[in-house]
Amino acid sequence: MMLIMKLKQAINKYLDYIKIYRSNGTYRFYKGRLSRFFSYCNNENITLKQSINKVYDYVYMLKETNKNSSVNKDLISINQLFKYYNINQRFELFKNDSVRFKSFTTNELAKIMNYLKHLNIENQLIITLLLETGIRINELLNIKIKNINLKDKTILLTTTKNNKNRYVFYSKLTQSNLEKYIKTVGSNELLFSFTYSKVNGLFRRLRKLLNIKNLNAHMFRHYFATTLLKYGVDIYAVSLLLGHSSIKTTVKYLHYDFNDLKCFYEKIEPYIS
C-alpha cells in the first residue's frame, strides 16, 4: 500500500512527522533535501516505489557538482524517508571528504568587535551570544527569557539539535546588554522574535562592510570551539558545551597551525629530552 503512495504525498506526510518530533533545523534540512529530490523526479504522479529507480541517476547528477559530504546529506534524507515507510532499500553513503570547519581569524574577530558600537543592542546581543556560547542559530532564536539566569550568567537551552537540554554561559559584556534588552521585550516568551533571515541578513551586511569573506553565524560556533580547544579545555567538556552527540564532531573544529604545534611541543620537550 505504501509503495503505491504518490511520492509527493509520502514526503509531505513524513515531513509532518519530522515537524512534530524533531527540531526546526532538522525539519528544514529534510524539507530542503526531499523537495529537491521530488523536483528532480519532475513528475507529480510518481509513486514512492517508482522513485527508488530514480535515486542512482539523481545521485550521479549531484556528484558532478557537489562534494561527497553534501551528496550524503541527500542520501541520508532519502534513506530515512524509505525507512519511515518500512521500505527495505538503503543507498550506501560515500566516503566523506576530509573536512575541517572554517573559522575567522583573530584580526577578523577584532574587526567585528570594534564595529559592535555601531549596531543596535539587539544585533550586539546576537553577535556576543553566538561568540560566547557557541550556540546554533536555531538555539539562539529559541532562548526563553525564563531560562536566562542573570545572577549566574547562564542560559538553559531547551530547543536543541539533539533534543537534550543544556546550559551555556556568557560574560559580563553580554550580561549588561541582556539586562537592558529584556526590559524592552515586554511579555514575550522568547528573547528574540525574529527569523533566520534577519540573522543571515545581519551577517551579509557585516560581510560586505567589514570585508570578511564568507562570514556567517556558524563561524562564531567554530571560533568558540577552536578557542576552547586551543587553550586546553578538555575536548569532552567542549563537546558538552556545543551539544554534540559525538566527540568525532568536535574534533572537526580543531584548527591548529604551525605555531600552535610548536608551542605544544615546547611544553612537553623537557619531559622527552
Q: Grade residue 257 by pLDDT with cuts at 50, 70 and 90.
A: low
186, 187, 188, 191 alpha-carbon torsion, rounded to 10°: 60
Q: Taking the model in full, what pTM does it have?
A: 0.67
Q: Grade residue 272 by pLDDT with cuts at 50, 70 and 90.
A: low
* 126-153: pLDDT as tens digits: 999 999 999 998 899 999 999 999 999 9
| HSE toward the beta carbon, residue 177, CA cutoff 13 A | 18
Name the grid cell of 121: 543592542
Sign of the dihedral through C-alpha 240, 246, 249, 254: positive
- The reported pLDDT for the residue numbered 149 is 96
Name the grid cell of 244: 554534540
CA-based angle 254:67:214, to the nearest 5? 55
Query: Biggest alpha carbon distance in the chain?
Result: 72
Read off the amino acid at residue 180.
Answer: K
* 36-90: pLDDT as tens digits: 999 999 888 899 999 999 998 899 888 888 888 889 999 999 999 999 999 988 9
Between 67 and 3, where is the model more confident? 67
- The reported pLDDT for the residue numbered 3 is 63
Closest CA to 75 of 58, 99, 87, 88: 58
Q: Which of 30-34, 231-235, 253-257, 259-263 has the highest mean pLDDT?
A: 30-34
- The reported pLDDT for the residue numbered 98 is 57
Mean pLDDT for 84-106 is 80
DSSP, res 166: E
For the beta sheet containing 148-149, the strands, ordered from the edge strand earlier in sequence to the opposite edge, are 148-149, 154-157, 166-169
Read off the amino acid at residue 98.
Answer: S
Dist CA 235 CA 225 (whole Å) = 9
Name the grid cell of 202: 545581519
Catalytic residue numbers? Answer: 136, 161, 218, 221, 244, 253
The H-or-E segment that residue 225 falls in is helix 218-230
The H-or-E segment that residue 81 falls in is helix 68-84
Q: Grade residue 101 by pLDDT with cuts at 50, 70 and 90.
A: low
* 211-254: pLDDT as tens digits: 998 888 888 998 998 888 878 788 889 899 999 888 877 877 76
- The reported pLDDT for the residue numbered 6 is 93
The pLDDT of residue 99 is above 60: no
The pLDDT of residue 107 is above 60: yes
Residue 229 burial (CB count, 10 A): 20
* 172-199: pLDDT as tens digits: 889 999 999 999 988 889 999 888 888 8
